[in-house]
A and B are shown apart, each in its own frame.
Chain A
């Protein structure tokens, strides 16, 4: 049965000592909002919409105040949640549960939740917030459990445990529980099989038919670099001006960026798996540096590509070379003169390989110039691809 709409939330910790729809929904909101506080969502939203001078989003802060939430500083990173749970359960003399038990035994004593909430509202620390999330994972109500798991997913060291709770939530008969669970699961584990199952055959067919998709593949040690990720300067430029079909979901492909044959081989295997899981056919790739060699290895592993654009790719033929029978359109190499990073890598600068079109920009030495949007505009790189 759907929850009754709430016109006025029950503010403060008192919602945790009450039952009924308003109390349950308020508890869920407190947990989700506390997760947002710790992630710094308020500040991030404000930075996105109003530039770096503004510190926080007043609209979001106002709603946090209506819930009576204490102010919380942003807190990133994961805690040792198993240890934290041990401390928490011993405080309330609750039995420890073995890690081997895959289902959470609900805590029936409502006063435990009320007390942990009371402490959080009084103390207002990241520790008290995480305690509240931890204890609510064992709440008898599934909406509160999945809200706690959603809020805790960026802070707990036991992500598998949270994913189990979220997956169970996706099977709820309650729309709200399913919706929160699926959203949180998509953020915590974008490739989870349960999400594909939930999409159903219609959506899966839609993805398979989307053959015109382009994706960026980063190079060595660039896994955490912003330029190739959604919102990054190069990604934004390509999406807006060159390839509107550029893949922009959070679950985009990434690899370790390791500087070794083993790291590239693993990346190629992962790329093939990623494409299979996403039902992409004839994906176009724009790669930088050794990302191009990862793509070559993937074609040798049977991956079918449309177009392959290589930016500053170190040439290591025959170790890394494309299987042209798996490339349906063309391979274009774009590079600069005497790339110093490629020099250090002892790679070749120029492809002398049938089927690869060479383009040399009038720039010297800079390995990273080829993913600079200004360079693309100035030298009309889109015309080369």
Chain B
């Protein structure tokens, strides 16, 4: 039942905020690959709302090429220009959806300047 899983994500986000344990954050990152769109969106929103705490987990996911279009978009949404150099190589990726997501993420970062 996706609703129970969704409640689990809210709890994980709260646990992450309270304890700082990256294990809770990793639960949210894993949920980005959920088939249910609700779960995927809730996880994404909670990751962005966690702010810079999410960055190491997203950077690791980027290196593993996990959930790539969405991971790139999330890194752009965090607004930290430090990740620009990590996003840039993906803008010429062989996968056009990945390349487009990277270009859009760079554009969002640039507009934050």
Which residues of A pack against B, CB within 8 Å?
Answer: 76-80, 154, 157, 220-221, 223-225, 256-260, 262-263, 265-266, 340-341, 343-346, 365-368
Apart from A256-B73, A256-B107, list 14 A-B contacts with CB within 8 A.
Answer: A76-B95, A78-B96, A157-B92, A220-B44, A224-B69, A225-B37, A259-B73, A260-B77, A260-B79, A262-B111, A262-B112, A340-B6, A341-B42, A343-B10
State in angstroms the CA–CA spacing of A78 and B95 once bound together. Answer: 7
Q: Which of A224, A260, A340, A345 contacts B76 (CB 8 A)?
A: A260
B44 / chain A contacts, CB cutoff of 8 Å: 220-221, 259
Sorted nearest first, the 3 A-B pairs with minimum C-beta distance are A77-B94, A256-B104, A260-B77
Q: Are B41 and A344 in contact (CB under 8 A)?
A: yes
B10 / chain A contacts, CB cutoff of 8 Å: 343-344
Q: Are B42 and A344 in contact (CB under 8 A)?
A: yes
Instruction: For chain B, residues 70 to 112, give those with C-beta under 8 angstroms from any C-beta of chain A.
Output: 70, 73-74, 76-77, 79, 92-97, 99-101, 104-105, 107-108, 111-112
State in angstroms the CA–CA spacing of A365 and B76 once bound together. Answer: 28
**What is the distance, in angstroms, from A269's C-beta to the closest C-beta of chain B?**
9
Q: Are A365 and B38 in contact (CB under 8 A)?
A: yes
Q: Quick one: CB contact mask for B8-44 with A, threshold 8 Å, 1 for yes?
A: 0110000000000000000000000000011011101
Q: Which of B77, B95, B99 contacts A258 (CB 8 A)?
A: B77
Q: Are B3 and A344 in contact (CB under 8 A)?
A: no
Q: Are B79 and A345 in contact (CB under 8 A)?
A: no
For the residues of B in contact with A, the DSSP-based class is helix
A258 / chain B contacts, CB cutoff of 8 Å: 73, 76-77, 104-105, 108
Interface residues on B, range: 35 or more
Please, could you name 12 A-B residue pairs with CB atoms under 8 Å apart, sorted by A? A76-B94, A78-B93, A78-B99, A223-B100, A223-B104, A256-B104, A259-B73, A263-B77, A340-B3, A344-B45, A365-B3, A365-B6
State in angstroms the CA–CA spacing of A260 and B104 once bound together. Answer: 12
B73 / chain A contacts, CB cutoff of 8 Å: 221, 256-259
Q: Which of A265, A344, A365 contacts B111 (CB 8 A)?
A: A265
B42 / chain A contacts, CB cutoff of 8 Å: 340-341, 344
Q: Is B57 an interface residue (CB 8 A)?
A: no
State in angstroms the CA–CA spacing of A223 and B93 once bound together. Answer: 17
**What is the distance, in angstroms, from B45's C-beta to the closest C-beta of chain A?**
4
B96 / chain A contacts, CB cutoff of 8 Å: 76-78, 154
For the residues of A in contact with B, the DSSP-based class is loop
State in angstroms the CA–CA spacing of A190 and B107 once bound together. Answer: 20
**What is the distance, in angstroms, from A311's C-beta to the closest C-beta of chain B?**
13
A264, closest chain B residue (CB): B108
State in angstroms the CA–CA spacing of A324 and B94 once bound together. Answer: 43
B61 / chain A contacts, CB cutoff of 8 Å: none
State in angstroms the CA–CA spacing of A315 and B59 once bound together. Answer: 31
Q: Are A262 and B79 in contact (CB under 8 A)?
A: yes
B69, closest chain A residue (CB): A224
A365 / chain B contacts, CB cutoff of 8 Å: 3, 6, 38
Q: Are B95 and A77 in contact (CB under 8 A)?
A: yes
**What is the distance, in angstroms, from A371's C-beta to the closest C-beta of chain B?**
10
B101 / chain A contacts, CB cutoff of 8 Å: 223, 256
**What is the distance, in angstroms, from B62's C-beta to the closest C-beta of chain A?**
16
A265 / chain B contacts, CB cutoff of 8 Å: 111
**What is the distance, in angstroms, from B73's C-beta to the closest C-beta of chain A?**
5
Q: Are A368 and B92 in contact (CB under 8 A)?
A: no
B49 / chain A contacts, CB cutoff of 8 Å: 344, 346
B79 / chain A contacts, CB cutoff of 8 Å: 260, 262
**What is the distance, in angstroms, from A14's C-beta to the closest C-beta of chain B?**
33
State in angstroms the CA–CA spacing of A224 and B112 once bound together. Answer: 24
Q: Which of A77, A224, A260, A368 contacts B37 (CB 8 A)?
A: A368
State in angstroms the CA–CA spacing of A202 and B94 once bound together. Answer: 40
Q: Are A220 and B111 in contact (CB under 8 A)?
A: no
State in angstroms the CA–CA spacing of A262 and B77 once bound together. Answer: 8
State in angstroms the CA–CA spacing of A266 and B76 once bound together. Answer: 13
**What is the distance, in angstroms, from B103's C-beta to the closest C-beta of chain A?**
9
State in angstroms the CA–CA spacing of A366 and B3 once bound together. Answer: 9
A223 / chain B contacts, CB cutoff of 8 Å: 69, 100-101, 104
B100 / chain A contacts, CB cutoff of 8 Å: 223
A368 / chain B contacts, CB cutoff of 8 Å: 37-38
